[in-house]
Structure 1
Amino acid sequence: MELTRRELVAAFLGASVASACTRQAARAPVPGAIVDRAVDTGHKLRTGPLPRAQTFEPVDVLIVGAGAAGLSAAWRLSAAGVKDLRVVELEAEAGGTSRSGRNAVSAFPWGAHYLPSPLEDTGPVMRLLREMDAVTGVDAEGHPSFAEELLIQEPDERVFFKGHWYEGLYLRAGASPEDLAELERFDARMNAFAAARDAKGRKAFAVPVALSSDDAEWTALDALSMARWMEAEGFRSPRLKWFVDYACRDDYGATSEHVSAWAGVWYFAARQNGKGERSDGFLSWPEGNGRLVKQLASSLGPRQLETQVLVHTVEPGEDGCRVHALDARTGAPRAFHARQVVLACPRFVAAHVVAPWREARPAWMDAFVYSPWVVANLTVSAPPASRGFPLAWDNVFYESRSLGYVVATHQSLRQDARGPTVLTWYLPMAGADVKAERNQALSATYGDWEALVMADLLPAHPGVGALAQRLEVQRWGHAMVRPQPGFLWGEARRAAQQSLGRHLHFAHTDLGGMALFEEANWFGVQAAERALAGMGLKSASWL
């Protein structure tokens, strides 16, 4: 049965947005398209036996997947002097969920759009930022500083509520003394978590997760949801609960009811110093984290990266791995024999690709759950008018299930200009039933998405319809691993990180339990160093 526009909006964005859309005037639809295509090719993995080539292309290291993790592995191997290196990618472009686009107005992200600046001058992310000339110095305590043009410029955040924009993400307007007292108490708890160290000197909550303390004093938080922890701690202010829920949806693609309390605390504690001061800020570019993956990819030679290659079988052996693939453009079979393989794809893909796992699915595989997301880029002829606090980099709707939008040209030093820009709109499909959410996202038509995006924007920007020039929609069916209660410190994630034999190693954000660049980079570098060891090549660890 076809839904009315109001029913469609209520199903995706909630009743408050649906109520507002009934008061919107008629308008011409915005031209555009759904731009993702890989879902059709990727589903060939489920169709049964695929043709196989009889001739194998030899290679020292084959990396399957050119997202942030796969490109981080390639970057590490290239730095170690590995020349016989190949990266193959299903999509037409590298980058995974950090991929970006560009039109005549601006570059813009198709997924991840910022990197929290590191607190300390250690680890592979800092090495990457130095390569990009993003680091301007390090103080006596080892805290780095970063190029001003990369740090998010003010105004950085605002929230829309009841017809008005307000500064920041916590809704202070109309907050009661009790609300503010709860916020102050919550901040104090997060500061204490941020300052906590174990007997080995490890932070209780660190970036990446692998550097965090495994003491039960803190990991016990993983057993319950963030919502349950908030209730147990007496945090009942609706504004604080919304703020925490927003954080969970933003970083994990799920509500606080479906996110581990350890992950919820990590969001607020891992990137600050325990004194209430977060890192130096967020680093961003018009193309978002597309800039980071571009830097990683620059380590590869012109024939070392191949796109539109569907790897469907990896067979570990005594002398390496046999890898079977299809040319996604022609359907022609290909095959590789690699001394070492880095499989940089999520577990749900690996389950169909790794031959032994197809035969006997690991028991831990079902612990990995993924949130679907939808990202839409709307090109407008001018920034939309606002009532209240002025246009910011991050613009959030308090009463919507979406996360609002970021402004692609905010970092171009012309945010006060009245010229055209691109608004990047984000919707995490955060319901409990991820399969139903995924089906809903993939079955919606372009017309549905156009109606949803505009219904979300119009209450805050009544004139945006006249400014809208083109809308493009990207659906990510399995965008982010969910750190559900029990997952981050459970056995499944630990088991999934282990190499299979001496020749097959794994890299992806899902191994860290959080779909963040730092996790992808960490596991990419770790897999690369395991491959180096497998080839007998000694190299000091970057980890």
Structure 2
Amino acid sequence: MELTRRELIAAFLGAAVASACKREAPRAPIPGAVVDRAVEVGHKLRGGPLPSAQTVEPVDVLVVGGGIAGLSAAWRLMGAGVKDVRVVELEADVGGTSRSGRNAVTAFPWGAHYLPAPTEDRGPVVRLLREMGAVSGVDAQGLPTFEETLLIQEPDERHFYRGHWYEGLYLRVGATAEDLAELERFDARMNAFAAARDAKGRKAFAVPTSRSSDDAEWTALDSLSMARWLEREGFHSTRLKWLVDYACRDDYGATSEHVSAWAGIWYFAARQDGQGERSEGFLSWPEGNGRLVQQLSSSLPPRAVERDVLVHTVTPSAKGCRVDALDARTGQPRSFQARQVVLACPRFIAAHVVAPWRTERPAWLSAFTYAPWVVANLTLSSPPVSRGFPLAWDNVFQESRSLGYVVATHQRLRQDENGPTVLTWYLPMAGGDVKAEREKSLSASYADWEALVMADLRPAHPGISAQAQRLEVQRWGHAMVRPTPGFIWGPERQAAQESLGPSLHFAHTDLGGLALFEEANWFGVKAAERVLAGLGVASESWL
């Protein structure tokens, strides 16, 4: 049964957005398209046996997957002087959910759009930022400082509620004394978590998660949901619950009911010093984390990265790994013999690709669940009209299931305040049944997505339909791993990190349990350093 327009909006964005939609005069549809193609190519892995090539191409190190983890592994290997490194990627573009696009107006993100400024002057992320000239120096405490042009300019955040925009993420207008008291108490609890250290001096909640304390005092929080923790601790304010729920949807693609309390607290505590300071700020570029993809890619020789390669079988042996693949454009088979392999893809894909796992399914596999997302880039002839607090970098809707949008041209608005811009709109499909959410996102047509995006934006921006020039939509069926209760500190995630024999190593953000740049980068570098050990290359760890 076909849904009415109002039913469609309610199903995706919630009843509040649907009820806010007013009947509008007929308008021409906004030109655009659904631009992703991973589903049609990637689902070939579900079919029968695929052919192997007659000729086998030898390579020292083959990295399968050109997302952040795979590129980070290759970057680390090149940094150690390993020359014969090949990266193969299924898509036409590398970067995974950090990749970006560009049109005549600006570059824009197709996924991750910022990087929290690191709070320590160590680790591979700071090394990468130094290589790209983003680190301006070190302060009196020995902590890195960053180029001002890369830190988000004010205004950075605003919040739309009942016809007006307000400053910040927490809705203070109309807040009761009880609401504000709960917020103050919650902030104090998060500061205490941020300051907590174990007997070894490790932070209770650290970036990346691998640096966090494994003491039971903290890991026990992983056993219950963030929603249950709020209830247990006596937090009842609707506004605070909204803020926490927004945080979970923003970083984890799930509501607080489906996120572990450890992960929920990590969001608020890991990147601050215990005094309420949440690092120096956020680093961002018009293309979002696509700029980090460019930096990682620039460390590799041009011919080291091959796109449109569908790897379907990895067979480890005593002499390395045989890797069988298809050219996704021509359908022709290809095969590689690698001394070492980094398989930098999600666990659910690895289970189809690693030959021994086809006959003996890994016991840990069912613990991994992935949230689908939809990202849309809307090009406008001029910035949208607003009531209340002015246009910010991050623009959030109180009553929508979407996360609102970021402005790709924000960092240069002062130079061109009235010129064309691109809004990047985000919708995490945050329901509990991820399969149903995925099917829902993939079943919607371009016309459906156009109706949904504009229904979300129009109440906050009168006249935006007349400004709209083009809309492009990207569906991410398995965008991010979900840190469900029991997952972060459960045995399954730990088991999934282990190499298979001496030559097959794994890297992906899902191994960290949080779909964040720092996790992908960490596990990419970690896998690369296992490769170095396998090759007999001595190199000081970057971790």
**TM class, shorter-length:** over 0.9
CA displacement, residues 494-518 of structure 1 (integer Å, 9 cap, x when unaligned): 0000000000000000000000000
* Local SS of the residue matching 1:501: coil
Corresponding residue number in structure 2 for 1:507: 507
TM-aligned CA deviation for residue 23 of structure 1 = 4.3
Corresponding residue number in structure 1 for 2:63: 63
* Local SS of the residue matching 2:303: coil
The amino acid that maps onto 2:490 is: G
TM-aligned CA deviation for residue 56 of structure 1 = 0.7
The amino acid that maps onto 1:510 is: D
TM-aligned CA deviation for residue 28 of structure 1 = 2.3
Inter-partner Cα distance in structure 2 for 1:414 and 1:44: 48
Corresponding residue number in structure 2 for 1:453: 453
Question: Across the two proteins, how many residue pairs are aligned to each other?
Answer: 543
The amino acid that maps onto 2:359 is: E
Inter-partner Cα distance in structure 2 for 1:497 and 1:415: 47
The amino acid that maps onto 1:204 is: A
Inter-partner Cα distance in structure 1 for 2:176 and 2:26: 39
1:34 aligns with 2:69: no
The amino acid that maps onto 1:516 is: L
* Local SS of the residue matching 1:363: coil
Corresponding residue number in structure 1 for 2:251: 251
Q: Is the 8 A contact 1:62 1:341 kept in 2?
A: yes
TM-aligned CA deviation for residue 449 of structure 1 = 0.2
CA displacement, residues 228-272 of structure 1 (integer Å, 9 cap, x when unaligned): 000000000000000000000000000000000000000000000
The amino acid that maps onto 1:247 is: A
TM-aligned CA deviation for residue 139 of structure 1 = 1.6
Corresponding residue number in structure 2 for 1:50: 50
The amino acid that maps onto 1:498 is: E
Equivalences for residues 397-416 of structure 1 within 5 A: 397-414=397-414
TM-aligned CA deviation for residue 416 of structure 1 = 5.8
Corresponding residue number in structure 1 for 2:477: 477
Equivalences for residues 250-329 of structure 1 within 5 A: 250-329=250-329
Corresponding residue number in structure 1 for 2:130: 130
* Local SS of the residue matching 1:205: coil
Gaps of 5+ in 1: none
TM-aligned CA deviation for residue 414 of structure 1 = 3.3
Corresponding residue number in structure 2 for 1:21: 21
Corresponding residue number in structure 2 for 1:91: 91
Inter-partner Cα distance in structure 2 for 1:429 and 1:327: 32
* Local SS of the residue matching 1:303: helix
The amino acid that maps onto 1:386 is: S
* Local SS of the residue matching 1:257: helix
Corresponding residue number in structure 1 for 2:359: 359
Inter-partner Cα distance in structure 2 for 1:470 and 1:42: 27
Moved more, 51-60 or 423-432: 51-60
TM-aligned CA deviation for residue 24 of structure 1 = 4.2
Corresponding residue number in structure 2 for 1:2: 2
TM-aligned CA deviation for residue 485 of structure 1 = 0.1
Runs of 4+ more than 2 Å apart = 22-28, 412-416
Inter-partner Cα distance in structure 2 for 1:413 and 1:468: 18
Inter-partner Cα distance in structure 1 for 2:40 and 2:148: 42
Q: RMSD in angstroms over aligned alpha carbons?
A: 0.8
CA displacement, residues 60-88 of structure 1 (integer Å, 9 cap, x when unaligned): 00000000000000000001011111000
TM-aligned CA deviation for residue 39 of structure 1 = 1.1
Inter-partner Cα distance in structure 1 for 2:507 and 2:34: 29
Q: Is the 8 A contact 1:409 1:415 kept in 2?
A: no
The amino acid that maps onto 2:305 is: L
The amino acid that maps onto 1:382 is: S
* Local SS of the residue matching 2:372: strand
Inter-partner Cα distance in structure 2 for 1:25 and 1:374: 27
Gaps of 5+ in 2: none
Q: Is the 8 A contact 1:151 1:282 kept in 2?
A: yes
Corresponding residue number in structure 2 for 1:348: 348
Inter-partner Cα distance in structure 1 for 2:412 and 2:507: 33
Corresponding residue number in structure 1 for 2:143: 143
Inter-partner Cα distance in structure 2 for 1:145 and 1:310: 41
The amino acid that maps onto 2:528 is: A
Corresponding residue number in structure 2 for 1:433: 433
* Local SS of the residue matching 2:475: strand
Corresponding residue number in structure 1 for 2:444: 444
Inter-partner Cα distance in structure 1 for 2:143 and 2:80: 27
Percentage of pairs with the same residue? 81
Inter-partner Cα distance in structure 1 for 2:99 and 2:134: 20
Inter-partner Cα distance in structure 1 for 2:415 and 2:234: 41
The amino acid that maps onto 2:364 is: W
Corresponding residue number in structure 2 for 1:175: 175
Inter-partner Cα distance in structure 2 for 1:216 and 1:415: 52
Corresponding residue number in structure 2 for 1:206: 206
TM-aligned CA deviation for residue 317 of structure 1 = 0.3
Inter-partner Cα distance in structure 1 for 2:223 and 2:410: 40
Inter-partner Cα distance in structure 1 for 2:28 and 2:192: 53
Inter-partner Cα distance in structure 1 for 2:25 and 2:290: 37
Corresponding residue number in structure 2 for 1:524: 524
Inter-partner Cα distance in structure 2 for 1:166 and 1:506: 44
Moved more, 271-280 or 141-150: 141-150
Inter-partner Cα distance in structure 2 for 1:485 and 1:22: 40
Q: TM-score, normalised by structure 1?
A: 0.99
Q: TM-score, normalised by structure 2?
A: 0.99
* Local SS of the residue matching 1:383: coil
Corresponding residue number in structure 2 for 1:223: 223
Q: Is the 8 A contact 1:6 1:22 kept in 2?
A: no
Inter-partner Cα distance in structure 1 for 2:22 and 2:431: 24
* Local SS of the residue matching 1:189: helix
TM-aligned CA deviation for residue 144 of structure 1 = 1.2
Corresponding residue number in structure 2 for 1:81: 81
Corresponding residue number in structure 2 for 1:117: 117
The amino acid that maps onto 2:387 is: R
TM-aligned CA deviation for residue 463 of structure 1 = 0.8
Q: Is the 8 A contact 1:24 1:458 kept in 2?
A: no
The amino acid that maps onto 1:409 is: T
Q: Is the 8 A contact 1:87 1:306 kept in 2?
A: yes
* Local SS of the residue matching 1:42: helix
TM-aligned CA deviation for residue 25 of structure 1 = 4.3
* Local SS of the residue matching 1:61: strand
TM-aligned CA deviation for residue 417 of structure 1 = 1.0
1:463 aligns with 2:453: no
The amino acid that maps onto 2:63 is: I
TM-aligned CA deviation for residue 22 of structure 1 = 3.4
TM-aligned CA deviation for residue 54 of structure 1 = 2.0
TM-aligned CA deviation for residue 140 of structure 1 = 2.7
Inter-partner Cα distance in structure 2 for 1:250 and 1:336: 39
